[in-house]
């Protein structure tokens, strides 16, 4: 096993003349590393390494609108508890050997949402969320692999990352976590605040805190074929209603009433053959599926909403921004917002594309009446807010 800071720096020194935090152009990164091999970049995003500390993370873990977990290694193996957690519970934890993980921090901390925007060279449809973990010395979640791409940004403290290209991905049976049964590290790095490690899917890795340690994980969506198939069939059920009903006026007496007849199977097959879908159905499903909020997400509607006229005036003067929890994508002139779809005319589409790409519209906003009505509808639902910049504390 090679233990060095230099190996990671070998990757980090490439193309230092670029402005991208990866020290590579986005095209170079995607061609050389994306879903191919790890990349370690020293001091990549130091400005984001301290937006949350242990106290702030524990406060988030106490909220019922945030998903959190506590992972502890015991003599008997691994133990996982699910939040929300009472502050007293977290204060009583031992001095070593555990990790607190909080999902979707970008939904509640504006600075985390800004960090996610640093990865805009990748499609929003692939971005998932930001998870932040805190661990005292010896804390970690064991050797494992993820089925998706992940960037691991070091916040405070120091962590030792061990990485392996092994193909043996057998898991410990009956464990509450996906722990690798065998782990043979190829490389090992010590990472410090601002260091960024990219790992492709199925890359075995193990991170252990050497001191009080914050790690920020930028994760990506990689739904399974089974997930997509199941959800698409559910979508067809909601959007298509085949006509007709089973009938058999030619039915004859049978000798074996428990036998499923060939005629029945043939009729079932013809009924299923009436199900049709095309590219437009797939596109609509993709937009709805990819923007559907997670079950724990709650949108805060304005307590005393403005009238349409006052909203239009305020939004035109101050701009608008998407709520941190909002997901907005588009295809052509069809826009998908938090699992809902809307088709608009070309002029409105131009404005909404800017909102979807930038997640905000600057002041001096001009829009058609139909566009204002749609923005107002989203404002009333809590999907967007007036103001071009987040006012919430980070």
Q: What is the pLDDT of residues 274-315, one digit of tens each?
A: 888 999 999 999 999 999 999 999 999 999 999 999 999 999
Whether residue 28 contacts residue 15, with contact meaning beta carbons closer than 8 Å, is answered with: yes
**Nearest C-alpha neighbor of 392 from the set 114, 129, 50:** 114
Statement: residue 3 has pLDDT above 80: no
**Domain ranges (residues) in the chain:** 2-220, 225-278, 308-386
Q: What's the pLDDT at 389? A: 65
* Pairing assessment for the beta strands 98-102 and 127-135 based on DSSP bridges: antiparallel
Average pLDDT for the chain: 92
Residue ranges in the chain assigned as alpha helix (H)? 6-12, 26-32, 54-61, 87-91, 110-117, 225-239, 262-273, 279-291, 308-318, 346-358, 369-381
Which H/E stretch holds residue 74? Answer: strand 68-74
pTM (2 decimals)? 0.88
Whether residue 39 contacts residue 197, with contact meaning beta carbons closer than 8 Å, is answered with: yes
Tell me the per-residue pLDDT of 215-246, one tens digit each, with 9 for 90 and over: 999 999 999 999 999 999 999 988 888 888 99
d(CA 348, CA 371): 6
Tell me the per-residue pLDDT of 344-359, one tens digit each, with 9 for 90 and over: 999 999 999 999 999 9
Mean pLDDT along residues 100-111: 96
Burial class (CB in 10 A: 0-12, 13-18, 19+), 366: exposed
Statement: residue 112 has pLDDT above 80: yes
Which H/E stretch holds residue 218? Answer: strand 213-220
Q: What's the pLDDT at 365? A: 85
Q: What's the pLDDT at 243? A: 84
d(CA 139, CA 98): 4
Q: Is the dihedral of CA 82, 226, 120, 386 positive or negative?
A: negative
Which residue has better confidence, 237 or 137? 137
Which residue has better confidence, 302 or 393? 302
Mean pLDDT along residues 242-256: 91
Share above pLDDT 90 across residues of the chain, in percent, rounded to a whole number: 86
d(CA 177, CA 171): 9
Statement: residue 15 has pLDDT above 60: no
Q: What's the pLDDT at 6? A: 38
Q: Which architecture, in CATH terms, is 2-220?
A: Sandwich (2.60)
Q: pLDDT-based confidence at 19, cuts 50/70/90?
A: low
d(CA 241, CA 271): 12
């Amino acid at each position: 096993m090679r233990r060095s800071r230099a190996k990671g720096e070998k990757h980090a020194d490439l193309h230092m003349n670029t402005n991208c935090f990866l020290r590579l152009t986005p095209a170079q990164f995607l061609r050389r590393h994306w879903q191919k091999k790890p990349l370690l970049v020293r001091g990549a995003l130091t400005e984001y390494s301290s937006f949350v500390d242990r106290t702030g993370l524990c406060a988030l873990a106490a909220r019922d609108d945030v998903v959190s977990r506590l992972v502890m290694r015991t003599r008997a193996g691994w133990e996982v508890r699910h939040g929300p957690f009472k502050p007293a519970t977290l204060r009583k934890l031992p001095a070593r050997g555990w990790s607190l993980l909080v999902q979707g921090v970008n939904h509640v901390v504006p600075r985390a949402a800004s960090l996610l925007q640093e990865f805009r060279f990748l499609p929003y449809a692939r971005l998932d969320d930001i998870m932040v973990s805190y661990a005292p010395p010896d804390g970690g979640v064991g050797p494992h692999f993820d089925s998706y791409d992940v960037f691991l940004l070091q916040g405070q403290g120091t962590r030792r990352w061990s990485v392996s290209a092994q193909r043996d991905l057998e898991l410990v049976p009956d464990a509450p976590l996906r722990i690798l049964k065998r782990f043979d590290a190829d490389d090992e790095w010590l990472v410090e605040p601002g260091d960024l490690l990219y790992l492709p899917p199925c890359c075995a890795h193990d991170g252990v805190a050497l001191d009080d340690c914050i790690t920020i994980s930028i994760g990506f969506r990689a739904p399974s074929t089974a997930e997509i198939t199941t959800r698409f069939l559910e979508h067809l059920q909601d959007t298509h209603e085949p006509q007709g009903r089973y009938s058999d006026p030619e039915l004859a007496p049978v000798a074996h009433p428990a036998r499923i007849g060939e005629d029945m199977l043939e009729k079932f097959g013809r009924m299923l053959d009436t199900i049709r879908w095309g590219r437009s159905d797939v596109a609509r499903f993709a937009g709805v599926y990819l923007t559907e909020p997670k079950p724990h997400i709650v949108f805060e509607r304005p307590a005393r909403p403005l009238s349409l006229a006052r909203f239009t005036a305020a939004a035109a003067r101050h701009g608008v921004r998407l709520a941190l929890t909002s997901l907005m994508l588009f295809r052509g002139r069809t826009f998908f917002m938090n699992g809902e779809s809307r088709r608009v005319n070309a002029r409105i589409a131009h404005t909404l594309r800017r909102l979807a790409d930038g997640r905000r519209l600057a002041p001096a906003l001009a829009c058609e009446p139909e566009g204002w009505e749609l923005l107002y509808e989203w404002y009333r639902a809590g999907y967007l807010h007036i103001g071009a910049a987040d006012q919430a504390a980070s």
